[in-house]
Structure 1
Amino acid sequence: MTWSNPGFFVAVCGIDGSGKTTQVGFLESKLAERGEVVRTRQPTDLYRQDPMVRTVLDMEQDDESVLPEIGLLAAFDRYRHVREVVKPALRAGKAVVTDRYVYTGFAYMLARGMTIEWLTTIYQYLPAPDLTIFLDVPPELAIERIIMRDGSSKKREELDLERMRAVRANFLNHPWGDVNYHVLDGTAPQEEVRAGINKLVDAFDPR
């Protein structure tokens, strides 16, 4: 059994500590009952492990001096990931569930000082998901979850309250557009969040 061509593409976004990875796992299991599923994430390790990117995530680098470089690297990484992973799966009629997508790029890069005009330009050829879900969690709670989960954080940016407030505001305002974009309360009990996601998925395709 497969999804009807060209498949079903859903993105789950949120700041670190919002519970998105857990919910992506639940969603993967749900969709697997209907057909083949590809679970993935963005950005890939090509971006995450780049030395320059690491200095930005650790807030050791003057953001303004490297913004164009990391912005273009992030865009390159997303385009390649879509070409190599997302599009082939959708063409095969599979469901694709991604932990973060281009809207995460918008939210974080805007918070670092990039403009919506430039970001819209470099991301204009990426396909919009059929469904995008943002799990909204106050940064204060997200930081508590990160520390409880990891004991600290691998990236200083995750623990910068003002930066995370700006990222959250970008997700809530979504200046990049409003195509099948839904905000869910990530502070709700895990099963309640799961039920909310399932309801959105069922509204798209109730099979």
Structure 2
Amino acid sequence: MSGKFVTIDGPGGVGKSTVAEAVVELLRTEGRPVFGTREPSDSPIGQLARRGTEEYRGMAMACLIAADRYRHVEHEVRPALARGEIVVCDRYIASSLVLQVLDGVTRDVVWELNRQADMPDLAVIINARADEITKRLDQRGPHSRYEREPGGTERECAAYYEAARFLMAVGVPVVQLDASTTGAQDVARAVVAAIKEPWMRGR
């Protein structure tokens, strides 16, 4: 159960970050060594990407995100895995295959930019009905231009299903969870259960 790389992705407003935090806490409660992290990372280049969504678009943003990813993997993910920890990362390649593609970069180009990064042992993709996500976004307010664009939620939801199919086709283990009527804690418990699946032990 040690040294596993788990990523959690999903449309803005689906509750992904809340689930990622809950997964980390559940694993810690069980006494498992766990390292919670996120992308864009908290490094200077990650902060540039995180704060620059209004200024950087298309290929510029895709390259910023990829550069941050390679640094993040080298300086945070791999050392944590080497210590035998379960790495839980809030956003990873699936988000690039969605957001950068919706931003006008082709999927092939996005994949070429990112395919040398370490692939997760388990990619969790949380999705939900677009109308439910829209309600949540209306309550908390949009966090980025991706969430403000008319019809953006519908496109994001559909794109995450496509990203899941793509990742499975290239050999990445993917678990898809629906959060339309399920709370964050229940989704987090489902993620932890997936991490404990016997097939994960050999990865």
What TM bracket, shorter-length normalisation?
0.7 to 0.9
Give me the CA root mean square deviation: 1.9
Report the count of equivalent residues.
Answer: 188
**CA offset at residue 196 of structure 1?**
2.1
Write out aligned runs for 1:28-177 (5 A): 28-32=24-28, 33-44=30-41, 45-50=47-52, 53-55=53-55, 66-149=57-140, 152-174=141-163, 176-177=166-167
Measure the CA separation in 1 of the matches of 2:78 and 2:36.
Answer: 13
Normalization by structure 2: what TM-score?
0.84
Structure 1 contact 13–20 (Cα < 8 Å) conserved: yes
Structure 2 contact 123–175 (Cα < 8 Å) conserved: yes
Quote the residue 1:195 is aligned against: 189
Structure 2 contact 20–188 (Cα < 8 Å) conserved: no
Normalization by structure 1: what TM-score?
0.82
User: What per-residue deviation string (whole Å, max 9, x for no partner) do you get for residues 17-72 of structure 1?
Assistant: 1111121122102222242211111112231123xx3235xxxxxxxxx5221111
Unaligned runs of 5+ in 2: 42-46
3-state SS of 1:133 partner: strand
Taking only the aligned residue pairs, the percentage that are identical comes to 26
Query: Which portions of structure 1, spanning 4 or more consecutive aligned residues, are displaced by more than 4 angstroms?
Result: none
- Given residue 86 of structure 1, which amino acid in structure 2 is its aligned partner? V
Higher CA-based Rg: 1
Structure 1 contact 140–161 (Cα < 8 Å) conserved: no
Q: 1:186 to 1:98 in 2, by over 3 A?
A: same
